[in-house]
Amino acid sequence: MPTWDAVVVLGAKPAGPGEASAAMRRRVAHAVGVMQARGIPCLIVSGGVTGDPPSEAVIMHDLAIRLGVAAEFIIVEDRSRNTFENAVFTAREMRGRGWRRLLLVTDAWHMPRARYVFRRLGIAADGAAVPRPADLSRRAWLLHYLADLWALARSAWLFRLGRHKPIVAAILHR
């Protein structure tokens, strides 16, 4: 059975300034549950400011504390604005701590692209996907999958072109 150094929960768009959206609450609750059930010692909340402050990570940090995670076991990565940057900035956190393996938490429709990006950047990342919530129709869920499938194809193309290399180098070597 693999052991993980940390659970990484990827951000979601807030409902408003400082207000967690349903997707964000779902992801953090799932991440905390996985962390506790599998005895994983640390939680990384990853997401920057994509609208009004505060960052997605700060909102998720507060949610995780309310769900029982002690602040000293939470790392706030609040610079990323997309899945690619989630992976790059998380890699930087990992490298500084000597970590080797992560467990990603995001919605099931987003997991294939998230795992692809993390793995293409050399991060050993397994996934624990958040299942479809009962209040979201199958049609809406399928539309999320299709949109993210397009984003996965775009990510694969950009990796193939090597467009990621200067960005990765700039972030990792700061």
Q: Give residue-wise pLDDT tens across range 131-160.
A: 877 777 778 877 877 777 777 677 777 767
Distance between CA atoms of residues 136 and 130, nearest Å: 13
Q: Give residue-wise pLDDT tens across range 103-113.
A: 999 999 899 99
Whole-number pLDDT of residue 2: 63
**Does residue 166 lie in a domain region?**
yes
pTM of full prediction above 0.85: yes
Residue 10, judged by CB atoms within 10 A of its CB (0-12, 13-18, 19+), counts as buried
**Nearest partner of 125 among 146, 145, 143, 111, judged by Cα:** 111
Query: Which helix (H) or strand (E) segment is 118 a member of?
Result: helix 111-120
**Does residue 14 lie in a domain region?**
yes
Q: Give residue-wise pLDDT tens across range 68-104.
A: 999 999 999 999 998 989 999 999 999 889 999 999 9
**Does residue 1 lie in a domain region?**
no
Whole-number pLDDT of residue 154: 79
Residue 59, judged by CB atoms within 10 A of its CB (0-12, 13-18, 19+), counts as buried
Number of domains in the chain: 1
